[in-house]
Amino acid sequence: MLRALASRFLLISYLAILVTASDNDFGNCNCDDEGFWSMHNIMEAQRVSDFLIAIAYFSIPIELLWFISCSNFPFKWVLLQFIAFIVLCGLTHLLNAWTYYGPHSFQLILSLTIAKFLTALVSCATAITLLTLIPLLLKWKVRELFLKQNVLELDQEVGMMKKQKKASWHVRMLTQEIRKSLDI
């Protein structure tokens, strides 16, 4: 399964490189026309999209922090890694949205480069953490299923014991009735 995912990822990456390599010639495009798909409209849509993505990326960590503070989740450090990753992704989109305005200052390009580099580091660290954490979580899930099965078996045994107790009570009652009838 992992090989299939890796091969699909490589195929998609290869196709993306081919499309990018063959599509960087804007000379044959009527991109400056005043139609809906004009270069200005496309750039404006990208800018708005980057701002909206940044807003979403900045709101998700707030919700995760609230979850961490209200729960007894054992792997809070993993969620903190996700929060750092999400915030850095939001920062990258926010800085990228500013690149659509006029000439780019050195500070903007440097900030965007640093944000992307930090995002890459945190992304890789989170991916490595998940590689080590997922097997542990799967073991917990197997243990949980085992315990649920034990609970079901114990419930069945308790039910049988209750039936036996009820049956023995009926036997005692019948025995008492028989003794009473014999004593008469």
Amino acid identity for residue 81 in this structure: Q
For residue 117, CA distances in Å to 47, 83, 111, 124, 131 come to 21, 16, 10, 11, 21
pLDDT for the residue numbered 26: 47
Answer yes or no: is pLDDT of 17 > 70: no
Exposure string (b/e) for 91-119, b if CB count within 10 Å is 16 or more?
bbbbbbbbbeeeeeeeeeeebbeebbebb
Q: Which two tokens stand for residue 87?
A: 């915030």
**Residue ranges of domains in the chain:** 37-149
* Mean pLDDT, residues 145-155 taken together: 86
pLDDT for the residue numbered 69: 87
**Span 36-62, pLDDT tens digits:** 778 888 888 888 888 888 888 889 999
Q: Which two tokens stand for residue 20?
A: 């990018």
Q: Would the pTM count as exceeding 0.75?
A: no
pLDDT for the residue numbered 14: 53
**Span 92-101, pLDDT tens digits:** 988 888 887 7
Compute the distance between CA of residue 56 and CA of residue 78 in angstroms, rounded to an integer: 20
Compute the distance between CA of residue 39 and CA of residue 131 in angstroms, rounded to an integer: 42
